[in-house]
Structure 1
Amino acid sequence: MTLISPACRDALQYWLEGQSALSGASQNTITAYRGDVGEFLAFMTLHHGSPQGLGALERISISDMRAWMAQSRNGGVGARSLARKLSAVKSFYRWLAEREGFEATAVLSTRSPKFTKKLPRPLAEDAARAMIDTVELQSSDSWVATRDVAVVTLLYGCGLRISEALGLTGADAPLPATLRIIGKGGKERVVPVLDAARDAVNTYLQLCPHPQEPAAPLFRGVRGGPLNPRIIQGVMARARMQLGLPATATPHAMRHSFATHLLAAGGDLRSIQELLGHASLSTTQAYTAVDTARLMEVYNRTHPKA
């Protein structure tokens, strides 16, 4: 940040504070924004040979933007990552232009690099069930095994992110018919709890040797502290190797599987969007592409003229 002028550094900080307070951006998002916009401002300092004050930022041209994007690509930044960086820079400039009263056309009109969007990689229904069964076999300690099963069942049965599952506390037990989940950006959603998920958590609670206190984490590590998500990631990694599943069979894939299987069973996109806590329907629409791709695969494999 030493390459950035004090005025630009202050402006960046004000913008980040606004993103956190007004837009509800997560700390991870704020950190990414700080890095992406900070790198952009530092590049402009080096590109022009002197720290860029707010006045200089108003005069950034299309050629300046092209130079920044070219330098990023030459530095090994992929198209997807560069698109993310450009999005952060545009968001900052949109705010700065409104605050300072200038036109930011050169920045805002810069085209994002094209890239192929990655489709979610869900597990097939039988593979998802086999994953839960195999996770249970990864520990000889029965309470640890039931804990891991309970977590993975929540990911698949309720479509939770692993951070959301591990964010549950003793106050949430025994699990009610619905859970109020605070997701990304502080967005709240109500998620129905399947009997299988409730039963899995109850079994874990009956065997867990650590006292369940309302303010304490629901899922505990072996020593009684909060369960580290890496533990579940490691358990699933061992299980997928035993099942011959790809490296994409991760905790987050169980959430993808929840959405994809719900869509295949006739669920509508709006309802799935609400259950997943997606801010935009376009994010949820990725699952329609997954479903279509799977149908075409079956069609090509089974059609008599294939």
Structure 2
Amino acid sequence: MLTYIQQRIGAETGVKPGAEMLVAIEEAEKHQKPVAFIDRDIRITLGRFWGRMGIWEKIKLIGALIYSLVSVEGQDLDVDELTNQDVVSAAMEEFRKFSPHGAQALIDERDAYLAHQILMLGNRYDRVLAVVGAGHIQGVQRYLNAPETLPPLPSLTADVKGLPWGKIIGAAVTIIFLLLIAAIAFSGVGLEVLIAALAYWILINGVLSAVFTLLAGGHPFSAATAFAVSWLTSLNPLLAAGWFAAIVEAKIRKPTTGELRQIIEAETFSEMRRIPLFRVVLVAALANVGSSLGTVAYFVFIFPVLGIDPTVVITEGFSNMIRMIAGFF
């Protein structure tokens, strides 16, 4: 998504992403000067970027990226305005407000990393010409003027391990569901209600996951796979219905690595959606969304659908359960 948005902005402005770096390399080669690539590895940057952000920042980011997929097209973008330092500074500050932790990884840490590399090159060469993005000029210059403020280099490349919110939420869902089923079983409302509660879990999760798979343009077999596994994957924080649906989709559509270029060059979202590789990714994402919505819908509507009083079921169920457990001791 980031690559696609970058390519679309480049198409609108007539400037290919990374063109300034290519020109710098060409000029260096023309004058027979050595070239050093001093930015941090993109895998480290994205890993720290994702790891630093909280769950709310991640949700906002995904929403903003999806919006950007359709909003970039057709905008009148002025490349001179985009590279104006005042505009760049305002954009950086806006991003800090939007995602403070993300800005640390994408901007501040890279400023420090670039400054480290420039200073190390300065110890080897008499003169160093550094070509950096407009958004990094002020930050890098600030560190070069005061090297003592630089954070240690190893701290800029270490893995960031945030709270595994996906596993935490998944484990919570599993515990709540099992406790709910146990409460129904011990409450005395009857075997029919217990069977209905289990059946609704399978149906609600399965139907919504399958519907969202079809909305992604997935094959009916992929939708059937999502339906079949979503009730189970919703109870296991280590599994996701979208993974299984995407595997089936990939087996049927057979995407190729060359389609990555087609995704980048696509003009519209609907055009991207017709590309098998993008469709596989979309199936994985939307099948998981459907399964998650199914889980939420189940807990919200299960008691009204079953026609039972949740207070009675929970109090009676747990009381009977505790008495039964106490009877073993």
TM bucket by the smaller chain?
under 0.3
Higher helix share: 2
Q: TM-score, normalised by structure 1?
A: 0.28
| Normalised TM-score (structure 2) | 0.26
**Structure whose CA Rg is larger:** 2
